[in-house]
Amino acid sequence: MNEHRYYPILKWKQGEHHALRELPKEIQAAISPIIDYPDMDWDFENNCYKKNLTQHLTNFGTNLKKAWKVESPVYLDVNKLDKHATDDSVHPLDTCIELANSEGRKIIPVYSPLYSEKYSDAVQRNTELGACLRIKAQALVDNEVDLNSLAESFWLEQDEVDILIDLGNIDDETWSYEVAISAFRNLASQGDAWRTVIIAASSYPETQAGIPNDQLYEVPRLEWNIWQKVYSEHEFRIQPSFGDYSIGVETEDVNGSDQPDPRKMNAAASIRYSTDHNWLFSKGRSARDYGWDQTKELCQRLVAATGKYKGKDFSWGDKYIYLRAEGDISSGNATTWRKVGNNHHITLVVDQLSKLS
């Protein structure tokens, strides 16, 4: 695969897969999404899941077909659904791959040594296209993982295996770089024939609570800086590919009742954007109290930011921001603006990587 291919880790929610739908084929051809399938939403009033597992998965194949228009496979991690697997012969991974294949779409399963035995068994049943090993960076630093033994457990050779070095959420560039370079060095010592090696992290804010209202606010994209530093090292025969969590963060698997209660949340309306080096926020007031009409002013502030806004022709998301600033399109909702932000960010990263070729 192209060493400058982009590997965004995306939650499989409407804002994310609708963002993929709006990407032109030439952008999709330069990325390989790593789908992180979320758990079912919890119904806090009735103290149960809103859907059962079958209902939660039933549209995966059709949604993937609508979202993914190119021939290359996507990666799939269903660890957050593993706890719902009750049949030893049919795992959520099996179900998702069957649904995807029925729509002509191909899946590479993602596995971590932290996952269950039943998850491992499901991966073994679905390695026609190889597998991706998702490894915590610190585990590689501490020499806790034998990658070759893991690959052999799935009867795979190195050139059939992708390695995802996952730093998770980060906020310290110097420390995270040291972890990343050490993890990559230890990985390289275990072989250099891996199909792809991806370094992924997220410096996206885990909460917008500290982001000021009514102004543009920037946060450094540390994951981009770290990847560039590792990529520029010349001691390795293999080169890392870039991954991130798009406009999101790593989230841990929790029991349904431990999910954030939306009744207690009062998020602000905000436009999430990215520039070559920073995350950029145009944040307003409480969406519950002030509504989403305020997005017009938020978009106007962003469009007026010379040297930051990429222009209405850069991506579908940028066009939506421009039209909203002009008042020519609806205010949308939280899902709409996740779609806009993801679509812009994926396009931005592909553009950045293309300039390194």
pLDDT tens-place string over residues 299-315: 999 999 989 999 999 99
Q: What percent of the chain has pLDDT over 90?
A: 83
Beta strand segments in the chain, E: 6-11, 34-36, 42-43, 48-49, 74-77, 107-111, 131-136, 161-169, 196-202, 216-220, 241-244, 268-274, 278-286
Take residue 121 and report the two structure tokens written for it: 């068994």
25 domain-assigned? yes
104 domain-assigned? yes
Distance CA 221, CA 168 (A): 14
Distance CA 66, CA 60 (A): 10
The yes-or-no verdict on residue 257 having pLDDT over 80 is no
Buried b / exposed e across 84-111, counting CB within 10 Å, b at 16+? Answer: bbeeeeebbbbbbbebbeeeebebbbbb
The yes-or-no verdict on residue 319 having pLDDT over 80 is yes
Cβ-Cβ contacts under 8 Å for 26 (sequence gap 6 or more): none
The pLDDT score that the predictor gives to residue 254 is: 79
Least confident span in 47-56, 100-109, 307-316, 324-333: 47-56
Q: By the 8 A CB rule, do 313 and 319 touch? A: yes
The yes-or-no verdict on residue 2 having pLDDT over 60 is no
The yes-or-no verdict on residue 137 having pLDDT over 50 is yes
Closest CA to 322 of 345, 346, 305: 305
The per-residue pLDDT for range 159-179, each reduced to its tens digit, is: 999 999 999 999 999 999 999
The residue type of 111 is: Y
82 domain-assigned? yes
The pLDDT score that the predictor gives to residue 357 is: 62
Average pLDDT, stretch 216-220?
96
44 domain-assigned? yes
**What distances in angstroms separate CA 102 from CA 12, 52, 99, one per listed residue?**
18, 21, 5
Please report, for the domain that includes residue 158, its CATH number. Answer: 3.20.20
The residue type of 252 is: E
Query: What's CA 213's distance to the chain center, in Å?
Result: 26
The pLDDT score that the predictor gives to residue 292 is: 92
Average pLDDT, stretch 227-239?
88
Closest CA to 174 of 145, 204, 203, 209: 203
Q: What percent of the chain has pLDDT over 70?
A: 99
The yes-or-no verdict on residue 1 having pLDDT over 50 is no
Instruction: Please provide residue 182's backbone torsions phi and psi, each rounded to the nearest 5 degrees.
Output: -70, -40
Q: How many domains is the chain built from?
A: 1
Buried b / exposed e across 137-161, counting CB within 10 Å, b at 16+? Answer: bebbbeeebebeebbeebebebebb
345 domain-assigned? no
310 domain-assigned? no
Packing angle, helices 14-21 and 60-67, rounded to 10: 40
Average model confidence (pLDDT) across the chain: 94
65 domain-assigned? yes
Which residue range(s) make up the domain with 11? 6-211+219-263
The pLDDT score that the predictor gives to residue 3 is: 53
251 domain-assigned? yes
